Amino acid sequence: MKTYRYEALILAVALVIMGLLLKKGLDGFSGRERTVNVKGLSEMEVPADKVTWPLVFKELGNDLQDLYVRINRNNLTVISFLKENGITDEEISVNAPEIIDMSAERYSTSPPPYRYNVTSVITVSSGKVDLVRELISDQGELLKQGIAITGGEYRYNTVYSYTGLNDIKPRMIEEATRNARTAAVKFAQDSDSKLGKIKNAYQGQFSITDRDENTPYIKKIRVVTTINYYLKD
């Protein structure tokens, strides 16, 4: 008889403990915050507002003095071409000539036809993007004057850039935030919940890239905003 009472007492205590634990678990579950994590994207295409255009030409020869004379003459011709077509002195810079002594090449198996290879670079840095694009198309006019503008070297690529990011940042952040909220509202509706306040938010880095390889003068700007919202019943 005593054994039954003892077992019943143990069972009663165990049930009480289980009840307390169950209540605590349910209270914790009901009080646990529910959130939804969403991302909002904003993209924009803008025309480049600055261009850097290196005009590169070379001269070959064996007499350095004669090469300098030719380089300087060609520099003046190129600068004249640019200024006659709307480029100002402030937008033009002339680099010091780069000289390569071909006879010093260690891996050459035969003597080169010319000892010196001199490269001259005149750089146009301007906000007149459309004008510079036209001049790039018209640079064949320099060829008529005996100056062949070379291309293909990576360090002398024409570079288009966009400098007005700070002016459009607020608008893009607003759009990304609005798109994130739209996604959060849809999630809340689908889960029979209501959207609460923002728990935290993270703004991603702005990226500026060429729209594609054929139109580097059109830039694509992109930003992604990540937001955590509270959900309410």
pLDDT tens-digit profile, the chain (233 residues): 545 555 555 555 444 455 544 445 444 444 568 899 999 999 999 999 999 999 999 999 999 999 999 999 999 999 999 999 999 999 999 999 999 888 876 666 677 788 899 999 999 999 999 999 999 999 989 999 999 998 777 889 999 999 999 999 999 999 999 999 999 999 999 989 899 999 999 989 999 999 999 999 999 999 999 999 999 98
pTM score, whole prediction? 0.78
149 occurs within a structural domain: yes
- On whether both 113 and 75 belong to a single domain, the answer is yes
pLDDT at position 212 is 94
Element (H, E) at 228: strand 218-232
Tens of pLDDT along 181-222? Answer: 999 999 999 989 899 999 999 989 999 999 999 999 999 999
pLDDT at position 154 is 80
- On whether both 138 and 183 belong to a single domain, the answer is no
User: Which of 126, 161, 196 is the last residue before a domain boundary?
Assistant: 161
- On whether both 203 and 156 belong to a single domain, the answer is no
- On whether both 208 and 151 belong to a single domain, the answer is no
- On whether both 173 and 151 belong to a single domain, the answer is no
pLDDT at position 175 is 96
- Domain of residue 55 covers 50-161
- On whether both 60 and 116 belong to a single domain, the answer is yes
User: Which of 144, 161, 178 is the last residue before a domain boundary?
Assistant: 161
Domain at 223, CATH number: 3.30.110.170
**What are the start-end ranges of the E strands in 11-166?**
34-47, 50-61, 92-94, 98-101, 116-126, 159-161
Helix, strand, coil percentages, rounded to 5, for the chain: 40, 35, 25
- On whether both 54 and 157 belong to a single domain, the answer is yes
- On whether both 35 and 70 belong to a single domain, the answer is no
154: Cα within 13 Å, side-chain hemisphere:
0
DSSP secondary structure letter of residue 91: G
User: Which of 125, 141, 161 is the last residue before a domain boundary?
Assistant: 161
23 occurs within a structural domain: no
pLDDT at position 32 is 67
- Report the mean per-residue pLDDT for the chain: 87
9 occurs within a structural domain: no
pLDDT at position 20 is 47
pLDDT at position 226 is 96
- On whether both 191 and 142 belong to a single domain, the answer is no
- On whether both 59 and 142 belong to a single domain, the answer is yes
- The two tokens of residue 111 are 């003597």
Q: Is 184 exposed, middle or buried (0-12, 13-18, 19+ CB in 10 A)?
A: buried
Tens of pLDDT along 157-172? Answer: 999 999 999 999 999 9
Q: How far is CA 3 from the centre of its chain?
A: 80
Looking at beta carbons, which pairs linking 111-119 to residues 24 or more positions away fall under 8 Å? Answer: 113/60, 114/60, 114/61, 114/62, 115/61, 115/62, 116/60, 116/61, 116/62, 116/64, 116/67, 117/58, 117/59, 117/60, 118/58, 118/59, 118/60, 118/61, 118/67, 118/68, 118/71, 119/56, 119/57, 119/58
Structural domain count, the chain: 2
